[in-house]
Structure 1
Amino acid sequence: MRRTPTWLAALTVGLAALFVAPSAHAAEPVDRGPSLYVPDANPAAYDQALELARAGQFLDAAGVLAMVNTPQAVWFGDQSPAQVEQLIRGVVRDADKEDAIPVLALYDIPGRDCSNYSAGGAADTTEYKEWIDAVARGIGGRDALVTLEPDALALLPSDCGQDDAQGTKTAARYVEVNYAVDKLEPLAGTRVYLDTGHPGWHTVNSIVPRLIKGGVARASGFYTNASNYNTDDANSWYGKLISSCLAYVDGGGDVAECPHQWWPRADAQAWLDAHVKTPPSRMKHFVTDSSRNGQGPWTPPAGKYTDAQDWCNPPNRGLGARPTLRTGDPLQDARLWIKTPGESDGLCLRGTAGPEDPERGTVDPDAGDWFPEQALELVRFASPPILR
């Protein structure tokens, strides 16, 4: 059961009255129908809001509270099967009581993140299957949107030099993703979406074969831009191209012929009009992450870094458009906040010896830890504004 501290409840009400009153000129329409679940925030977010309020920075405090009171994914990984079953059962039960749909980001694949900043996960395929079985028991028959294993398909073991000549670990990765799809998608209220990275990474022609091998035919679809910064327009176009290519290949077409995201749009649309006749209702759908894309991707200073790590705690990014299940796009099931805004991407050294992030002049928190400086940036540079 979720519990909000008494002081926080009072602070939220007071600040909301001052800064978050309803507006007749809101930038986005109010959703009608099912809502998305708002989980408990990182406790450090509440601490930051309290410190800001005590310092008289009421607008910033209200912004942080508005950010964490926006629907976003709940991440699971590294817990034992017994722990994850209990935790997920609690989340889906709370969401059900609120007539809301929770977004579950499952992040326990063996060798995740190429054993880099977010290293961890299950020890092997057998352990991972046991973990997924526990996730399924926790969800039961309740509703859930599952963004399955960020980077699992976009960053295979073979992509980071961690596989053997036979491709043993990469083959195991596909077994693991397929197992999760087959275990979770058949649940009564669950929709499973598979990883595509983001539009600045794999071409459509590169990621579609991975989705097919990962079992997307038996999943609800795929997701893009998790924990990244690409614009809504770029994400929606990438999703449309992937979905169209999947339909084309399913009909016997060659994936190499599909247009990718760097084709001129008019040319790509003309190709789609000529070659893809499948109605949207029969195509694979997608969801996108708008948690930190309000200002779009960061462009590093030219020639400054040997490895700019433009994905890692880039400066002056902002919250993006609010999550919704009503996108107006027949292929896009939802716009979500998959990445927890305000939590660090890890220790960003950008090719230097460190330990400080040279772009910020500070040591960045570990991946998943609260990053107060970045949280304030996300609030202040939010587009549309988080307070209105």
Structure 2
Amino acid sequence: MRRRAIPLLSAALALAAAFLVGPAGAAEPEPGEAGAAAAGDERHRPRLYTPPANPDAYTQAHELALAGQLRDAAGIVSMVRTPQAVWFGDQSPAEVEREARQVVRDADGATVVFSLYNVPGRDCSGYSGGGANTTAEYKAWIDAVARGIGRSEAIVVLETDSLALLPSDCGQDDAQGTKTAARYAEINYAIGQLEPLKGTRVYLDTGHAAWHGPASITPRLVKGGIAKATGFFTNVSNYQTDAANSWFGRLVSACVAYVGEGGDAAQCPHQSSAREQAEAWIGANVKTPPSRWKHFVTDSSRNGQGPWVPPPGKYTDPQDWCNPPDRGLGARPTLRTGDPLHDARLWVKIPGESDGLCLRGTPGPEDPERGMVDPKAGDWFAEQALELVRLANPPILPGS
């Protein structure tokens, strides 16, 4: 469960928050909601849950306020008081059931975004490696999550990188593909336990728009059980723009529909295709009406400045996904995107928390782009948090 905030706000920080920060957990205003709020229907309109913040965020804000940097302090507070995902992984079944039940109780009717991250062999045993030891352990863990969620409103972002980065992609499988087959079975099992819950919608992994194309990710979605899920997610922990995410989502939705009709995914247009040509192909080949296509959600937590482009030829492994410099917060989370296929724009990755120790192909130990040793994955990264706030697009504070 997300860590509880601790009372570190000084009088100076409280003053900054009072002047510059809106109500806790307030998301970007959504289309058509002003009238409902004015009519006193605030409690009943769709809203996203804001979990307790990483305590180190308030420590940073406290220190900024004491240094007289009130606007930066207020920006950090506003960032962590924006709806974000609750990440679960590595807890025991008993722990995750108890913590999930407590989260939905705290949410009090708001939709909770659960990012489940415990599949065996996750992240190819990289910076965020770990997960359950066996398929049986994973199934027991998923069963516990399902019991904890119960009948509450929930969006489940199921196992980031689980399909875009299979065991076979990172040399962890045997010649028979045993671990990859287990991965598909694990994802299918999770969908089967979670999607039938009354208020839960499950979304599967596609990586991001600069990784797989529809032709390569769609067969993985099909094997992963997309037919039984609400849809898929893209750009979690990455930096692709909202426009790129929406276009990629539409193409993947169309390709999934096309394959469901018996088509070959290899024929689906790539996201780099000219839009007019791709739309023409969809119109000519996909017979399923868009109202029956799979939906998607996107992560806009850190994409306000788009992806980082490493200096050409400078690094053998630029790790453009790993704590890239000079990025900004993206558009605020919303359940009303204006696109009938795009169910939500979310902050899934917790902005301000590190991606890990980024060496970019160098001996280290410092990140050569930052001149410092990056915090380990999941720890608070004060320098990056401040960048995200200052370079937010749209701005995190009014008047920026």
Shorter chain as denominator, the TM-score bin is over 0.9
- Does the 8 Å contact 2:352/2:388 carry over to 1? yes
Selected match of 1:345 from 352, 355, 366: 355
Selected match of 2:103 from 67, 75, 91: 91
* Cα distance in 1 for residues equivalent to 2:269 and 2:11: 53
Selected match of 1:63 from 45, 52, 75: 75
* Cα distance in 1 for residues equivalent to 2:10 and 2:114: 25
Deviation, 1:280, is 2.8
Residue 372 in 1 paired to residue 382 in 2? yes
Aligned to 1:296: 306
Quick one: which amino acid aligns to residue 380 of structure 1? R
- Does the 8 Å contact 1:152/1:173 carry over to 2? yes
The 3 A distance-change label for structure 1 pair 163 and 4 is closer
Deviation, 1:12, is 6.3
* Cα distance in 2 for residues equivalent to 1:237 and 1:365: 33
Residue 17 in 1 paired to residue 18 in 2? yes
Deviation, 1:18, is 1.9
How many residue pairs get matched?
Answer: 383
Residues 21-59 of structure 1 show CA distances to partners (whole Å, capped at 9, x for unaligned) of 69xxx9864673210000011111011010111111101
Runs of 4+ displaced beyond 4 Å: 1-7, 9-13, 26-31
Residues 277-314 of structure 1 show CA distances to partners (whole Å, capped at 9, x for unaligned) of 42333110000000000000000011110000000000
The 3 A distance-change label for structure 1 pair 87 and 11 is farther
Deviation, 1:248, is 1.0
Deviation, 1:276, is 2.3
* Cα distance in 2 for residues equivalent to 1:21 and 1:166: 55
Aligned to 1:322: 332
Deviation, 1:5, is 4.3
- Does the 8 Å contact 2:5/2:55 carry over to 1? no
Deviation, 1:6, is 4.6
* Cα distance in 2 for residues equivalent to 1:182 and 1:11: 50
- Does the 8 Å contact 1:108/1:120 carry over to 2? yes
Residues 158-188 of structure 1 show CA distances to partners (whole Å, capped at 9, x for unaligned) of 0000101111100000010000000000001
Residue 34 in 1 paired to residue 51 in 2? no
Unaligned runs of 5+ in 2: 34-44
**Which stretch of structure 1 is more off in the superposition, 256-265 or 180-189?**
256-265
The 3 A distance-change label for structure 1 pair 21 and 148 is closer
Aligned to 1:359: 369
* Cα distance in 2 for residues equivalent to 1:111 and 1:10: 46
Determine helix, strand or coil for the equivalent of 2:157.
strand
TM-score by length of 1: 0.95
Quick one: which amino acid aligns to residue 308 of structure 1? P
Residues 215-251 of structure 1 show CA distances to partners (whole Å, capped at 9, x for unaligned) of 0000000000000000000000000000011111111
Selected match of 2:243 from 233, 238, 252: 233
The 3 A distance-change label for structure 1 pair 124 and 281 is same
Share of identical aligned residues, percent? Answer: 71
Residue 75 in 1 paired to residue 76 in 2? no
Residue 46 in 1 paired to residue 58 in 2? yes
* Cα distance in 2 for residues equivalent to 1:281 and 1:29: 22
* Cα distance in 2 for residues equivalent to 1:36 and 1:48: 25
Aligned to 2:214: 204
**Which stretch of structure 1 is more off in the superposition, 231-240 or 267-276?**
267-276
Aligned to 1:149: 159
- Does the 8 Å contact 1:12/1:65 carry over to 2? no
Residue 274 in 1 paired to residue 275 in 2? no
TM-score by length of 2: 0.92
Residue 336 in 1 paired to residue 362 in 2? no
- Does the 8 Å contact 1:291/1:336 carry over to 2? yes
* Cα distance in 2 for residues equivalent to 1:41 and 1:258: 41
Determine helix, strand or coil for the equivalent of 1:36.
coil
Aligned to 1:252: 262
Residues 82-105 of structure 1 show CA distances to partners (whole Å, capped at 9, x for unaligned) of 00011111111111x2x3101000
